A and B are shown apart, each in its own frame.
Chain A
Amino acid sequence: MNAHYGDRQVLHNVNFSVAEGEIMVVMGGSGSGKSTLLKHLLGLQKPSSGSISLLNQNIAELGRKQMMALRRSMGVAFQGGALLSSMSVGDNVKLPLRENTELDENTIDIMARLKLELMNLAGFEDLMPAELSGGMLKRAGLARAVIMDPKILFFDEPSAGLDPVTSVELDELILQLRAALNMTMVIVTHELESAFKIADRITVLFDGEVAAMGTVEEIKNSSDVRIQNLINRKPRDKVVDADAYLQRLTAGGT
Chain B
Amino acid sequence: MEGLINLPASLGRYSIDIVSSIGRAAVFLGLTLSRLFHWPFPLAEFIKQLNFVGVRTLPVLLVAGLFTGMVVALQFYDTLVRFGSVDLLGSAVALSLIRELGPVMAALMVIARVGSASCAEIGIMRNEQQFDALECMAIDVYRYLMLPRLLAAIVALPMLTAIFDLVGIGGGYVVGVLIHGESAGAYINGLIDTVTINDVLMGVIKSLVFGLIIMWIALVNGFNVHLNQSLSGAEGVSHATTTAVVLSAIVMLSFDFIIGSLML
Contact = CB atoms under 8 A, between A and B. Distances in A.
Direct contact of A and B (CB under 8 A): yes
Interface of A: 39, 42, 44, 68-69, 71-72, 74-76, 78-80, 82-86, 95-96, 99-100, 141, 144, 154
Interface string B119-148: 001001100111011111111100010000
B128 A99 contact: no
B125 A71 contact: no
Contacts of A39: 132
B137 A100 contact: yes
A100 B138 contact: yes
B130 A99 contact: no
Contacts, number: 60
Contacts of A83: 130, 133
Contact of A78 (B48, B124, B133, B139): B133
A167 to B, nearest CB: 20
Given A42-B136, A68-B138, A95-B137, A78 B125 contact: no
B244 to A, nearest CB: 19
A13 B121 CA distance: 38
Contact of B136 (A74, A80, A84, A86): A74
Interface of B: 48, 121, 124-125, 128-130, 132-140, 144
Given A42-B132, A44-B132, A78-B129, A86 B121 contact: yes
A80 B128 contact: yes
A72 B132 contact: no
Given A76-B136, A85-B128, 14 more contacts: A42-B136, A74-B136, A78-B133, A79-B129, A80-B128, A82-B132, A84-B130, A84-B134, A85-B121, A86-B121, A96-B138, A96-B139, A144-B133, A154-B136
Contacts of B133: 76, 78, 82-84, 141, 144
B125, B133, B137, B144 pick with most chain A CB within 10 angstroms: B137
Nearest to B138: A71
B225 to A, nearest CB: 15
6 contacts: A68-B138, A76-B137, A84-B130, A85-B121, A85-B125, A100-B138
A82 B129 contact: yes
A79 B127 CA distance: 12
Nearest to A82: B133
Question: Shortest 10 CB-CB distances between A and B: which pairs?
Answer: A82-B133, A71-B138, A76-B136, A82-B129, A96-B137, A68-B138, A78-B129, A99-B139, A82-B130, A72-B138
A78 B133 CA distance: 7
B124, B133, B135, B139 pick with most chain A CB within 10 angstroms: B133
A76, A83, A154 pick with most chain B CB within 10 angstroms: A76
A57 to B, nearest CB: 14
A64 B139 CA distance: 12
A85 B138 contact: no
A5 B129 CA distance: 19
B197 to A, nearest CB: 40
B138 A80 contact: no
Nearest to B45: A86
Nearest to B48: A86
A71 B136 contact: yes
A76 B139 CA distance: 13
Contacts of B134: 84
A154 B133 CA distance: 11
B137 A80 contact: no
Nearest to A68: B138
A74 B134 CA distance: 12
A74 B124 CA distance: 25
Contacts of A141: 133
A160 B137 CA distance: 22
Given A79-B129, A80-B129, A85 B136 contact: no
A76 B130 CA distance: 11
A194 B215 CA distance: 45
Contacts of A44: 132, 135-136
Contacts of B125: 84-85
B97 to A, nearest CB: 35
A232 B138 CA distance: 40
A100 to B, nearest CB: 6
Contacts of B132: 39, 42, 44, 76, 78, 82
A95 B139 contact: yes
B139 A85 contact: no
Contacts of A84: 125, 130, 133-134
Nearest to B52: A86
Contacts of B140: 68
A108 B137 CA distance: 16
